[in-house]
């Protein structure tokens, strides 16, 4: 790569408070690839999206300029910033790079052609590089110009983060050490149905928490008060319970929950068995008996995959279940994988990342990977 322009797709879709980066996890995850390219004398051209702009041009609140300034501090060297993505500023900025220099292009999604995987836009973007490297696993499930389209115009390779993500998830699915325990939470069964189906075929035990557990409880004949519940998915939940039973897979559901009379941290609460949920209250976290049972199942595992919180962990009064799961993963001697998204945010919130084997940078991408879907951002590299 010495002397070559390397167009590197990274995932710098980071939270900002005004112009301040409030969580740099995704930036730091990309550093091994960026630093390797710098050390080997490449001209590094970074590109990313940020947020969900309208695609009609520049929007100040979605500019990547603060990210370029933050990256400069982390790298300890200047990061040139292009005021556009494929226009005159981008061309001039890239042309000014010396070997080992770095620039960041403006938000890809300021141009609506990025999300449409428009071939002309992809070609223009590709003209800024001699080699393409995709290190944005978090966007690999999107067939956009920068994640898939440019691979048609340049020699295409996986970055260090992309390689680690795909290798880790593949080995977990294809050759897990048993017992393999999967933990799924979050609000809706409908969001996770394909993942649940796929994991029943792979794991020994499946732990279910979060809002989605109430649909399963209804499938078992319980009443769940005003808890989040998807009536349309009750029958499907019952089918999955039957499938697991037939395959000898243990599905663990809550035995007790923390209920509240309102969706608020200061709501009145009661902890009760799942057979005694008050009709005017909603479950917002798993209870202490459930937490203990789940932690014991995790402690004995050789492989653990976790995606989705056990309760409304953003509210301190309903965070105990999620925190306990993060603690159990941190203490587990087996291989532990967190599937990005809210689970990764929870591990960070409780400062329980240290001993977790792998925390994915892509929530949606990791789930689609587990479902067995082809990720366009990976497939284009395999075809290269």
- Please list the active-site residues: 26, 188, 341, 364
C-alpha distances (whole Å) from 54 to each of 12, 139, 167 are 18, 18, 34
**The dihedral of CA 199, 203, 209, 210: what is its sign?**
negative
172 near 335, Cβ under 8 Å? Answer: yes
> What DSSP designation does 212 have?
T
361 near 138, Cβ under 8 Å? Answer: yes
How far is 36 from 30, CA to CA, in rounded Å?
10
Alpha-helix runs per DSSP H in the chain: 25-39, 65-75, 88-95, 119-126, 160-174, 189-200, 213-219, 234-246, 288-299, 320-331, 341-349, 363-371, 376-383
Cis bond upstream, residue 159 (ω within 30): no
Q: What are the tokens at 264?
A: 């608020």
How far is 35 from 65, CA to CA, in rounded Å?
20
Cβ-proximal residues to 315 (8 Å cutoff; 6+ apart), any chain: 264, 265, 284
């Amino acid at each position: 790569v010495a002397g070559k322009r390397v167009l590197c797709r990274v995932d710098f879709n980071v939270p900002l408070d005004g112009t301040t980066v409030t969580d740099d996890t995704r930036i730091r995850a990309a550093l091994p690839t960026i630093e390797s390219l710098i050390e080997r004398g490449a001209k590094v051209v970074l590109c990313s999206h940020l947020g969900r702009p309208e695609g009609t041009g520049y929007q100040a609140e979605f500019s990547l300029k603060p990210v370029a300034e933050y990256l400069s501090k982390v790298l300890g060297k200047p990061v040139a910033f292009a005021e556009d993505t494929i226009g005159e500023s981008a061309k001039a900025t890239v042309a000014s790079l010396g070997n080992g220099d770095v620039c960041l292009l403006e938000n890809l999604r300021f141009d609506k052609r990025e999300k449409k995987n428009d071939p002309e836009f992809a070609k223009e973007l590709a003209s800024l590089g001699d080699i393409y490297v995709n290190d944005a696993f978090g966007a690999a499930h999107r067939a956009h110009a920068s994640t898939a389209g440019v691979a048609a115009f340049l020699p295409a390779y996986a970055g260090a983060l992309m390689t680690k993500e795909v290798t880790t998830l593949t080995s977990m699915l294809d050759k897990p050490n048993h017992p393999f325990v999967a933990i799924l939470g979050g609000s809706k069964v409908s969001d996770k149905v394909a993942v649940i189906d796929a994991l029943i075929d792979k794991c020994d035990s499946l732990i279910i928490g979060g809002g989605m557990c109430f649909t399963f409880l209804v499938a078992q004949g319980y009443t769940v008060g005003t808890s989040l519940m998807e009536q349309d998915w009750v029958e499907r939940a019952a089918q999955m319970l039957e499938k697991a039973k037939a395959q000898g897979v243990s599905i663990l559901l809550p035995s007790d929950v923390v209920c509240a009379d309102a969706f608020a941290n200061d709501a009145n609460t009661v902890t009760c068995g799942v057979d005694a949920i008050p009709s005017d209250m909603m479950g917002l976290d798993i209870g202490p008996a459930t937490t203990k049972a789940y932690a014991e199942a995790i402690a004995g595992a050789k492989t653990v995959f976790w995606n989705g919180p056990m309760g409304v962990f953003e509210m301190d009064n309903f965070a105990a279940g999620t925190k306990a799961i993060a603690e159990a993963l941190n203490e587990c001697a087996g291989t532990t994988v967190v599937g990005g998204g809210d689970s990764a945010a929870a591990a960070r919130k409780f400062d329980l990342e240290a001993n977790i084997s792998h925390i994915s940078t892509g929530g949606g991408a990791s789930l689609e990977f587990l479902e067995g879907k082809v990720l366009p951002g990976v497939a284009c590299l395999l075809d290269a």
